[in-house]
Amino acid sequence: EVKNLEAIFDARIERDERIEPKDWMPEKYRQTHIRQISQHAHSEIVGMLPEGNWITRAPSLRRKAALLAKVQDEAGHGLYLYSACETLGITREEMYEQLHSGKAKYSSIFNYPTITWADIGAIGWLVDGAAIINQVALCNTSYGPYARAMVRICKEESFHQRQGYEIMLTLSRGTEEQKAMAQDALNRWWWPSLMMFGPRDEASTHTAQSMKWKLKRKTNDELRQQFIDQTVPQADILGLSVPDPDLKFNPETGHYDFGEIDWKEFWQVVKGHGPCNKERMEARVGAWERGAWVRDAAMAHAEKNKNKTMA
């Protein structure tokens, strides 16, 4: 019987039909979606921290309002994705537990520090730019709730990317000191942004299966190349240089060739040993613990109201 169900499922994937929460799905399909969607949700939530660091120090009211809105959007994306993930039969408490215990991963990129205001520009431009490229492909992913979440999230990411690029544009057209700040931020964020797309295809555990299930529509390397091709001309407009001596447009392929990513650094950060991993986890776990009384109070209130309606 399962074989039969599996054949029907495969045919639906083949026809590009969306799989919905109550549909039959192979257990591995369910598990791999829980893994990716929950990691994605955790990334949005942890991703609030490096930028939250600058809300009180934004250089103008306008910048502060935009940054505040962006960080709030990220909280919304996280909650949206947690909800999408819950449709697969995992509870939010379980997901939080996986994050807080270090069992679940979140994007490597959020383990780097935000040292100057220009980092906020670079994050919007590069990190959100990379996120959009990854997520536009996911708007077409086979699992319905994930695909629909991505459509809305991409619209907001596009605003985030523009606000970042505008900060970079202002700095790069400013004083020498401001321009140097923008260049320094690009130098520090370029390589970690390329790492966001994950390991090379041949080293990627999940890509082959995820492509078959149409969870992924493009591979890690395809998306990374797309990001580089799109972003290098934007750096040119800023008058900033990308910190890769091997970067060169290849007229034969129509793409930029680029240098080797430091995979040792990537795996170090993924395994918890990046510059800010410890700080990020302490912030999340601390927020969870400090919020315990709010959860308790909300539960007690709900309980009291339930008793009232029963009486």
Residues in the chain: 311
Considering the complex, what minimum distance in angstroms separates the CB of residue 61 from ligand ACO? 25
Q: Which two tokens stand for residue 181?
A: 């700040």
- Between residues 172 and 277, which has the closer beta carbon with respect to ligand ACO? 277
- Between residues 204 and 234, which has the closer beta carbon with respect to ligand ACO? 204
Considering the complex, what minimum distance in angstroms separates the CB of residue 89 from ligand ACO? 18
Looking up tokens 């302490």, which residue turns up? Answer: 282
Considering the complex, what minimum distance in angstroms separates the CB of residue 39 from ligand ACO? 5
Residue partners of 206: CB distance under 8 A and separation at least 6: 32, 36
DSSP string spanning 220-242? Answer: HHHHHHHHHHHHHHHHHHHT---
Distance CA 270, CA 192 (A): 11
Considering the complex, what minimum distance in angstroms separates the CB of residue 111 from ligand ACO? 9
Q: Which two tokens stand for residue 104?
A: 């679940």
Considering the complex, what minimum distance in angstroms separates the CB of residue 189 from ligand ACO? 13
Query: Is the Cβ–Cβ distance between 51 and 67 less than 8 Å?
Result: yes
- Between residues 130 and 181, which has the closer beta carbon with respect to ligand ACO? 130
- Between residues 122 and 181, which has the closer beta carbon with respect to ligand ACO? 122
- Between residues 131 and 240, which has the closer beta carbon with respect to ligand ACO? 131
Considering the complex, what minimum distance in angstroms separates the CB of residue 190 from ligand ACO? 14
Please, which residues bridge with residue 248 across strands?
257
- Between residues 9 and 124, which has the closer beta carbon with respect to ligand ACO? 124
Contact residues for ligand ACO, defined by CB under 6 A: 35-36, 39-40, 43-44, 47, 105, 107-108, 131, 134, 195-199, 204-207, 210, 220, 270
User: Which of 111, 260, 104, 127 has its CA nearest to residue 196?
Assistant: 127
Distance CA 290, CA 283 (A): 10
- Between residues 41 and 168, which has the closer beta carbon with respect to ligand ACO? 41
Query: Is the Cβ–Cβ distance between 242 and 249 less than 8 Å?
Result: no
Considering the complex, what minimum distance in angstroms separates the CB of residue 64 from ligand ACO? 21
Helix (H) or strand (E) holding 114: none
